[in-house]
C-alpha cells in the first residue's frame, strides 16, 4: 500500500523523468521502501498554471486512471498525494524502435487495451506520440500518459456524436505504430483506414 503525502514526497530524493511543459505536469520517480514509484506533480509550477489548468488536468487524469482500474496494460494508480499530484505504478518499459521485431501477439493485446478503454468511455488522443505506447520486459504493451485523454458519459450527446471520431484518432495512433514497426502485417483494410484517418487529420486546424 503506497500512501504518500507532500511532506514525505518533498524529503525523498527524486529522479526527474520528464519535466512538464506549460500544459503538462512534471513526472518523476522516487524510491519508497525499495519500490519505484512514479509521481505526477504540478506543485512546483507557476502559480497561475498550478491553480487553473494544471489543477484541472491533474484531477481529470487521476479520475481517468481510476475509471480504467483493472485493465491490464494500464498503470495502476496508488494515491492522491494532494490536489496537485498523485502516485502511480512504475512500468519497466521502453518505446518501440522503428523496424523492431515484436511478438505476433503484441498488436492483438494493444488493440484489446484500446478497445477496453473505449468501452469505459475514455479516449487517449495522444497515441501517435511514440513514448505513450511502451513494451515491457515480457513483450507486453502498456499505455501511459492520459494527460490529453477525455471521458464521455454513457448516454451523453457528445458520446453519441463526438466519441466515434475521437476513437478513430486512437486507432490511427495504433495503426501508425504498426506501420512503423511491422508494415508487412497490416491488412489492406488497415492500410485504407490509416490513409483515411491521416487525410482527416490534415483538416484539423490544431495540427
CATH code, domain carrying 51: 3.30.200.20
Report yes or no on 11 lying in a domain: yes
- 177 in the same domain as 105: yes
| Torsion of Cα atoms, 170 then 171 then 172 then 173, to 10° | 60
Residue 82 grid cell: 494532494
Domain count along the chain: 2
- DSSP run (H or E) holding 193: helix 188-201
Whether this model's pTM surpasses 0.85: yes
- CA gap 80, 61 in Å, rounded: 11
| pLDDT score at 97 | 85
CA distance 85 to 71: 22
Bridge pairing between strands 77-82 and 85-89: antiparallel
Strand order in the sheet with 85-89: 15-18, 26-32, 35-41, 85-89, 77-82
Give mean pLDDT in consecutive 10-residue pieces for the chain, a chain of 207 residues.
Answer: 84 89 86 91 91 94 97 96 96 88 90 97 93 93 95 83 90 92 89 85 54
Residues 147 and 114 in one domain: yes
Last residue of a domain, one of 48, 70, 89: 89
Contacts of 146 (CB under 8 A, 6+ apart): 61, 64, 65, 68, 122, 124
98 with 82, same domain: the answer is: no
Residues spanned by the domain of 28: 6-89
Amino acid at each position: 500500500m503506497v500512501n504518500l503525502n507532500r511532506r514525505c514526497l518533498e524529503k525523498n530524493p527524486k529522479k526527474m523523468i520528464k519535466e512538464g511543459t506549460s500544459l503538462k505536469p512534471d513526472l518523476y520517480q522516487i524510491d519508497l521502501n525499495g519500490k519505484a514509484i512514479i509521481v505526477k506533480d504540478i506543485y512546483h509550477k507557476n502559480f497561475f498554471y498550478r491553480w487553473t489548468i494544471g489543477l484541472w488536468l491533474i484531477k481529470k487524469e487521476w479520475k481517468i486512471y481510476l475509471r480504467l482500474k483493472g485493465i491490464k496494460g494500464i498503470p495502476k494508480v496508488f494515491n492522491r498525494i494532494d490536489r496537485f499530484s498523485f502516485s502511480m505504478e512504475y512500468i519497466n518499459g521502453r518505446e518501440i524502435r522503428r523496424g523492431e521485431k515484436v511478438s505476433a501477439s503484441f498488436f492483438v493485446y494493444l488493440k484489446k487495451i484500446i478497445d477496453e478503454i473505449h468501452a469505459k468511455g475514455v479516449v487517449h488522443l495522444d497515441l501517435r506520440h511514440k513514448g505513450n505506447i511502451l513494451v515491457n520486459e515480457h513483450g507486453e504493451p502498456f499505455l501511459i500518459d492520459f494527460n490529453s485523454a477525455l471521458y464521455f458519459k454513457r448516454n451523453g450527446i457528445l458520446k453519441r456524436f463526438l466519441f466515434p471520431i475521437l476513437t478513430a484518432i486512437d486507432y490511427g495512433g495504433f495503426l501508425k505504430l504498426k506501420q512503423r514497426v511491422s508494415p508487412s502485417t497490416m491488412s489492406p483494410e488497415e492500410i485504407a483506414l490509416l490513409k483515411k484517418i491521416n487525410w482527416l487529420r490534415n483538416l484539423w486546424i490544431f495540427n
